[in-house]
Structure 1
Amino acid sequence: MAQPAGDAVLRARLTGLGTRAALRWGVVGSELGIPYAVDRREVRFLFGDTFGTPWPQTGRESTPAVMLSSHAQPGDIMFDSGRSAGSIASGRAGLGVDGIWEETVLPTDGICLPDGRHVISYVSVSRREGASYRTSYAGLALSNHGTDFRRTSTKWWNNPTQDDPFQLSTMQRDDDWVYVFSVPSGRSTGAMMLRRVRCDRILDPAMYEGWNAHDGTWGRPCTPILRGAFGEPSVRRLIGGCWVMSYLNSTRNHIVTRTATHPTGPWSHEKVQLTPAQEPGLYGGFIHPWSTPDSLHLIVSARHSVAGVSTAYRVSQYIGSA
């Protein structure tokens, strides 16, 4: 039986052969494409493993990339510039800057602080395991201008069982606070946690307050706001105050969304936005910050192969509703 499609429809291919990103900036084979707002005129996109060729090539170097878009309407994403994300990554598998084995480094989200500095959350990937992966730690990287990101000493180390719930994070600024939603690494089953921290204290882990869903207070301990099978999460506060969450339900292999009026919830049931019937090998599903509940723009990755031959390694834009 054919798998039904979700609510979202394809708007455009953003990377891959023949796209504007490939022809103008050399960003061809790529993943993620996480958009975050700098201001009301500019959005930055964070890409993970990025190549100048259509497919991931064994032995070729890859690096995270940052691309800028200053087009006011998310319906027609055009990139004004593109470049490497600086020393957030070494560019090849080996001993990373922390002296531990690192297969790659993947950004998970970004924000712009009130003072104009940019912060990227990322994970240090120690080993890939098919569609999943193991991480050594999650960390924060900092940039004065949103291009050359440098790792900071702020880290949350994973544990041997790989179920630390503070690895894959998405961040949303709301006035002077940053709300951080986190799940375990590797698109696995576990808990989603919610923390908050003041913008001027984001590099100090001791200043993070966890949401305790049992008694409805901020502080410690932090308790799960949701449990499920989570891929990389994305949370944005949209125009009008609606909070929307997107992630890959890694058990069903669907990109789904939930909504709430406050970051603490309650969060709605999952709504299916995309299935493999629409995009084989899908993952990601990152929310464009200029979306509205009725026009929800999702940035979706696809990595797919048939008989060991790659047929897709690209980022696309889909449009649905929350």
Structure 2
Amino acid sequence: MPGLVLTVALACFALAATATCSSTPPAAADRRLDGDAKAPFVLAGVEGLTKVAQLTGHDSMNRTADVQVVGQDLGSMFDADGKTWFVFGDTFGQRDADQFGGGGTEWRSNTLAWTTDTDPTDGITFGGYVLDEQGRAKEVIPGKKVDNDEMTIIPTYGFAANGAMYLAYMSVRHWGDPGEWETNYAGLAKSTDRGQTWTPLAAPRWGGTSNFVQVSVTNLDGTLYFWGVTHGRFGGVALMRVAEADVERHDAYAYLTGVEDGEPVWGSDPAKAHRVVEGTVGELSVVWNDYLGRWLMTSTDGAAEAAVIREGITPWGPWGEPQPLVTQADLPGLYSPYLHPRYVTNGGRTVYFTISQWGPYNVLWYRADLKRTA
């Protein structure tokens, strides 16, 4: 974002959050923020879907059993400290070879791996995990592990800000029916020692039924944008933002309450957040794609039981209709497709992503080619 636009944007955070803030952008405006809302959508689907590798588990390219990881899921990604970090959910160190779904012993609610591998074409080689004193992949945010209190702590995304690392997480009280769960709250945990130890912050926090229980985070020139969904896979996507310097101030967050003449309107009440995408969205990931000149959002579709992809003109939309990315016929028991802007080839036409499979309960590495209409 050019300096003028950034100055105006940051000034908006100093004003009452309910005020509408707009400016006339300079000619060289950042197209990630200043797309033409009337422009036609260009994403025509994907082709060439291919499984590249298995990243975790006994049969994986990373020998994760060496650090007592034989089953885990999720795998969202973020950059910090010169590395790309992979953020995993419930992790198990021992389980039967034919066990289906989550479960096992040596349960940890969350773990972190890192890599400096920048070539996505043959899978991603991990440099290592954050380890505990026993040499196992470490549970970085401990939970109570008590059903109907706090069953587990699941990190939904990570990001770097102000020289520190942050994990957005949800406190899960109870896993319900498939695609539905009860959550206590969502919040942030912070590390100031390169990911080795993490401290849950008292603020900011969002309620367990808010639209920001699960998030995807992008830093645009000092402003953090959070796309959020609620507790499960059966709601739409809302948007909030905060100046990077104020990430730990709950009252500094602004919530998109609407779009007027293509311009976003921000407010202070998360309950009034406008949904930029309607639908049955879970485990989302949002990145900018140079090949399309569009934002891409991948997610689990709770209604279709598929992984889907859609394009957006700006962070607040308009957003296109979901298109199949991976179907149950392609990969039975799939969920949680996550992108990373680094892992593309062919000028962004080929995207690589993590995706979890419930059967072996591990994380896979896939690729697909984007098709465009023009």
Q: What TM-score, normalized to structure 2?
A: 0.74
Alpha-carbon distance in 1 for matches of 2:84, 2:257: 32
1:67 equivalent in structure 2? 113
Q: 1:249 to 1:291 in 2, by over 3 A?
A: same
Query: What SS class does the counterpart of residue 277 from structure 1 fall into?
Result: coil
CA deviations over 1:97-138 (Å, ceiling 9, x no partner) = xxx81001111000111x321111000000011323111111
Structure 2 unmatched runs, 5+: 1-44, 131-136
Partners in 2 of 1:266 and 1:166 — Cα distance? 20
Q: Please give the alpha-carbon distance, in whole angstroms, between the structure 1 residues aligned to 2:46 and 2:350.
A: 15
Give the letter for the 2:355 counterpart: V
Larger radius of gyration: 2
Q: Report what 1:138 is aligned to.
A: 186
1:186: how far off? 1.6
TM-score by length of 1: 0.86
Q: Specify the alignment match of 2:202 in structure 1.
A: 153
Q: Distance in 2 between matches of 1:141 and 1:14?
A: 25
Name the SS of the counterpart of 2:72 in structure 1. coil
How far apart are the structure 2 equivalents of 1:238 and 1:116?
Answer: 26
Counterpart CA distance in 1 for 2:314 and 2:249 is 24
Q: How far off is 1:280 after superposition?
A: 1.2
Say if 2:301 is the partner of 1:246.
no
CA-CA distance at 1:58 after TM superposition: 5.5
* C-alpha displacement of 1:6: 7.1
CA contact (8 A) 2:92 2:104 kept: no
Q: Report the number of matched residues.
A: 299
**Structure 2 counterpart of 1:89, which letter?**
P
Superposed, 1:15-34 pairs within 5 Å as 15-19=56-60, 20-34=62-76
Counterparts in 2 of 1:239 and 1:291: CA distance versus 1, 3 Å: farther
Distance of aligned partners of 1:320 and 1:175 in 2 relative to their CA distance in 1, 3 Å threshold: same
- In structure 2, C-alpha distance between the alignment counterparts of 1:11 and 1:213, rounded to whole Å: 40
Once the two structures are overlaid, the 10-residue window that deviates more, 230-239 or 10-19, is: 230-239
2:358 to 299, 303, 321: 303
How far, CA to CA, are the matches of 2:230 and 2:109 in structure 1? 23
Q: Distance in 1 between matches of 2:140 and 2:112?
A: 12
Distance 1:185 1:211 in 2: 19
Residue pair 2:181, 2:231 contacting (<8 A) in 1 also:
yes
Q: In the alignment, which residue of structure 1 is the partner of 2:175?
A: 128
Question: 1:167 aligns to what?
Answer: 213
Change (3 A) 1:103 1:11: same
Partner-residue secondary structure (3-state), 1:102 = coil
For the aligned residues, what is the CA RMSD? 2.2
